[in-house]
């Protein structure tokens, strides 16, 4: 691939529920259990029908977490599975990120997803004393296990770091090394997101946003640590200065993630329109192209039925626009 190419996914996010038993102090997404209406399949069908012919490929299923021991866990998981199956049946490619899952839950979701994801955030245990004190599923070992299981199940996977939530600089490198070691065993990680913490109105954490000028340096070091076949992704709505965005690309970032109507995790930061991104990049010699939520070198990881769906996308679209 041309080294001056930057990719993104044309995506739409469906949220089964915002309720979450974790209470991370920086979160601008969650609501308390019982305070969020769960989306119905009927409503989801209407939403997806309206997305037809809108150049949307990826349907991101993004959910708060229902406690593994909750009596509603099975219903929650079935809703997620059914939403993925629905999206597939309507011609979209699902990507699921719904927090900690059991091995069997991940195995079941593999049959209705072309890729999945979970942010590792940071592997330092000290964050369990403050920002993750009331977030049991943020235990680093539990999240590392998710990456291991995804590798064992051959699930194309996205993970990443959340920067600026109380960790130290050396914690970034330790987390990247941990990701690298797991990937070297299973070759399943497609992307690592470097996401700067960006202040939001719902957070209870009394700190400001990550010092964004540091991001190119973090990217450059990450590029040294991570294997070449892992793409570094940055969210362009959180890097809202054109010069800084270009500096991030020069440092080694090559993907801008899923771009859609709303960033559910950072709702106060609107996505930049792809036309505007095209202009910014083109003027500096970069080319922005759209990708599928699964990279070509991971197609073989999919079940045969999903391979057929993905091949249909690859056969029916212009390779100069999608890959």
Quick check: 320 pLDDT over 50? no
Q: Which pLDDT band, with edges at 50, 70 and 90, does 321 fall under?
A: very low
pLDDT at 125: 97
**Alpha helices, DSSP H only, in the chain?**
41-51, 73-89, 103-110, 140-152, 169-186, 215-225, 242-251, 274-282, 304-315
In the block, which residue shows the tokens 């866990």?
73
Q: Is 31 helix (H, G, I), strand (E, B) or coil?
A: strand
Residue range 262-288: mean pLDDT, rounded: 93
Residue range 119-144: mean pLDDT, rounded: 97
pTM of the model: 0.95
For the CA atoms of 162, 165, 169, 170, what is the dihedral angle to 10 degrees? -80
Structural domains of the chain sorted by starting position, each given as residue range(s) with its CATH number in brackets: 5-315 (3.20.20.70)
Asked if 161 and 176 count as a contact pair (C-beta separation under 8 A), the reply is: yes
């Amino acid at each position: 691939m041309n080294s001056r190419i930057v990719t993104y996914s044309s995506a739409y996010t469906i949220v089964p529920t915002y309720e979450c038993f974790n209470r991370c102090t920086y979160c601008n997404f969650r609501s308390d259990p019982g305070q969020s209406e769960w989306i119905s399949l009927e409503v989801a069908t209407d939403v997806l029908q309206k997305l037809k012919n809108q150049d949307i490929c990826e349907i991101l299923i993004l959910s708060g977490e229902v406690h593994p021991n909750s009596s509603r866990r099975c219903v929650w998981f079935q809703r997620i599975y059914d939403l993925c199956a629905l999206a597939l049946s309507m011609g979209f490619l699902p990507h699921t990120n719904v927090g900690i899952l059991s091995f069997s839950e991940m195995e079941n979701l593999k049959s209705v997803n072309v890729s999945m994801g979970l942010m590792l955030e940071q592997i330092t245990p000290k964050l369990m004393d403050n920002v993750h004190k009331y977030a049991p599923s943020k235990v680093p070992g539990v999240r590392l296990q998710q990456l291991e299981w995804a590798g064992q199940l051959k699930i194309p996977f996205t993970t990443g770091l959340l920067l600026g939530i109380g960790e130290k600089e050396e914690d970034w490198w330790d987390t990247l090394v941990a990701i690298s070691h797991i990937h070297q065993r299973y070759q399943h990680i497609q992307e690592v997101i470097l996401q700067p913490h960006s202040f939001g109105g719902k957070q209870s954490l009394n700190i400001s946003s990550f010092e964004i000028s540091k991001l190119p340096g973090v990217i450059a070091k990450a590029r040294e640590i991570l294997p070449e076949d892992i793409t570094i992704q940055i969210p362009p709505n959180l890097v809202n200065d054109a010069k800084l965005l270009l500096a991030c690309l020069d440092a080694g970032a090559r993907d801008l993630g899923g771009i859609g109507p709303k960033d559910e995790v950072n709702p106060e930061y609107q996505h930049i329109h792809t036309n505007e991104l095209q202009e910014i990049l083109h003027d500096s010699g970069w080319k922005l192209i759209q990708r599928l939520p699964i990279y070509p070198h991971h197609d073989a990881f999919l079940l045969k039925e999903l391979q057929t769906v993905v091949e249909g996308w690859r056969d029916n679209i212009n390779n100069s626009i999608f890959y």
